[in-house]
């Protein structure tokens, strides 16, 4: 979140700087400096702004690397809070930025298949997430093939829904990742699969999974909540 984002949210709410500053617990002078970029948006102000304004979860602050430690139950709860129908019964207030939740999940060795099935939905639904941050981080952790495959499926969702804007953004970053596609074979968060499973998937995976060198049978037609 930037000062410009904060200013846009204030205008959306039709508030003056004085009114917004009062609700945010700031002085009008300080809010003016934040909106003009002379002061950074602190983590506290981001959280406060999320409470005061109707801002999307993509405005949530990104946590420092290594501080986000979530079990599968917490991952499901967070997906439910972000609106994923598969875990709709776990709805609550979003606690983590969707881009960081997706990166954290992609970086896991093994996850419940129901969580993995949510990845394309997450990329499609929150297409305005910070893709540059995500691409940089998956490359640093050699997970670009996983994200590239997820974006391929999310792009198929956009095509099916006729959403050319979403498809354009997803396809752009898919191509960016394709330029750094890894030759080594990987799984989609299922590293514990047996040798028999690996051998079967080598011959029965989709062309998209083969392109991204992933051992997975996930396809758009299998996404129950897409």
Contacts by residues 164-171 (CB-CB < 8 Å, ≥ 24 positions apart): 166/124, 166/127, 169/127, 169/131, 170/123, 170/124, 170/127
> How much is the average pLDDT of 103-128?
96
Considering the chain, what is the average pLDDT of its residues?
Answer: 92
Dihedral angle sign, alpha carbons of residues 93, 98, 100, 103: positive
Where are the domains positioned within the chain? 3-55, 72-222
pLDDT digits 0-9 by tens, 89-101: 887 888 889 999 9
> How much is the average pLDDT of 53-59?
83
What pLDDT does residue 126 have?
96
**Taking 90 as the threshold, does the pLDDT of residue 226 lie above it?**
no
* Phi-psi map region of 111: left, alpha, beta (phi>0 left; psi -120 to 50 alpha): beta
pLDDT digits 0-9 by tens, 135-189: 999 999 999 999 999 999 999 999 999 999 999 999 999 999 999 999 999 999 9
Domain 3-55 matching CATH 1.10.260.40: the answer reads: yes
> How much is the average pLDDT of 188-208?
97
What pLDDT does residue 172 have?
98
**47 pLDDT tier (thresholds 50, 70, 90):** confident
DSSP 31-74: HHHHHTTSS---HHHHHHHHHHS---GGGSPPPPTT-----HHH
What pLDDT does residue 91 have?
77
What pLDDT does residue 35 have?
94
**220 pLDDT tier (thresholds 50, 70, 90):** very high
What pLDDT does residue 127 have?
96
107, 186 in Cβ contact below 8 A?
A: no
**Taking 80 as the threshold, does the pLDDT of residue 198 lie above it?**
yes
């Amino acid at each position: 979140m930037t000062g410009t984002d904060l200013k846009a949210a204030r205008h959306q709410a039709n508030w003056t700087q004085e009114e917004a500053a009062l609700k945010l617990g700031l002085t009008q002078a300080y809010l003016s400096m934040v909106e003009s970029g002379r002061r950074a948006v602190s983590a506290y102000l981001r959280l406060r702004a999320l409470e005061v304004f109707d801002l999307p979860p993509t405005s949530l602050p990104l946590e420092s690397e290594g501080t986000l430690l979530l079990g599968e139950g917490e991952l499901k709860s967070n997906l439910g809070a972000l609106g994923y129908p598969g875990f709709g019964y776990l709805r609550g207030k979003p606690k983590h930025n969707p881009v960081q939740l997706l990166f954290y999940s992609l970086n896991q060795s093994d996850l419940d298949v129901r969580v993995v099935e949510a990845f394309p939905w997450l990329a499609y639904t929150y297409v305005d997430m910070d893709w540059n941050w995500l691409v940089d981080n998956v490359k640093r952790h050699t997970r670009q093939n996983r994200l590239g495959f997820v974006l391929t499926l999310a792009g198929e969702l956009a095509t099916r829904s006729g959403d050319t804007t979403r498809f354009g953004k997803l396809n752009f970053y898919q191509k960016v990742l394709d330029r750094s596609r890894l030759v080594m074979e990987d799984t989609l968060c299922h590293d514990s699969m047996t040798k028999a499973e690996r051998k079967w998937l080598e011959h029965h995976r989709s062309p998209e999974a083969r392109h991204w060198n992933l051992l997975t049978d996930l396809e758009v037609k299998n996404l129950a909540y897409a």
